[in-house]
Amino acid sequence: MVDTPKNTPVELADDNKAEAKTRFNAALEEAKAGAAALGAEAKQRMEGYRDQAKTKGEDMKGDARGKASNLATEGKAKVSGAIASLGKLIDENAVKVDEAVGAQYGDCVRIASKKLDETASALDEKSVEELTEETRQFIRRRPSMSVGIAAAVGYLFARTFRSSK
């Protein structure tokens, strides 16, 4: 009987190193697989959240458009009513202009009142979409005048809100 030599300490150490390396590589592969799985799950969740956000954004956009349309229609009605009221007020004062300055000027006031009434009627008859398109066309035809009007309106708003404080 031949005795086989027992593993020497160096051989045992080499075996332990090999086993440790194998376990380490297996753990590393498992960690990589776990990270990949987490990444895939995170991507899937992100896509779900993106879809939810997109749907909610579209819903909010639709609601905002509906509210804006309603506000524009209400604003159009108020402006039309204000123009008609102004025309009526001017027409009522035409007699005073006749007496104070002369019939010729009173007639001018009546013509202005009639134009204001026609403008209010035309405004009532048109939809907000038609008015928007007409405004776009006007801006394209006369951009410098549009800028001037915008500046004047902005100035009037600023003066109105500044004096109300």
Task: Supply the pLDDT for residue 21.
Answer: 87
Number of domains the chain is built from: 1
Task: Supply the pLDDT for residue 10.
Answer: 65
Tell whether 20 is covered by a domain: yes
Task: Supply the pLDDT for residue 7.
Answer: 65
pTM greater than the 0.75 cutoff:
no
Task: Supply the pLDDT for residue 98.
Answer: 86
Tell whether 163 is covered by a domain: no
Tell whether 157 is covered by a domain: no
Task: Supply the pLDDT for residue 159.
Answer: 85
Task: Supply the pLDDT for residue 12.
Answer: 67
Domain span holding position 138: 11-149
CB distance 128 to 79 below 8 Å: no
Task: Supply the pLDDT for residue 5.
Answer: 53
Helices 9-92 + 128-141 axis angle, to 10: 90
pLDDT (tens, 9 = 90+) of the chain, 165 residues, equals 445 455 676 676 777 788 888 999 999 999 999 999 999 999 999 999 999 999 999 999 999 999 998 998 999 999 999 999 999 998 888 888 888 888 898 899 899 999 999 999 999 999 999 999 999 999 999 999 999 999 998 998 888 888 655
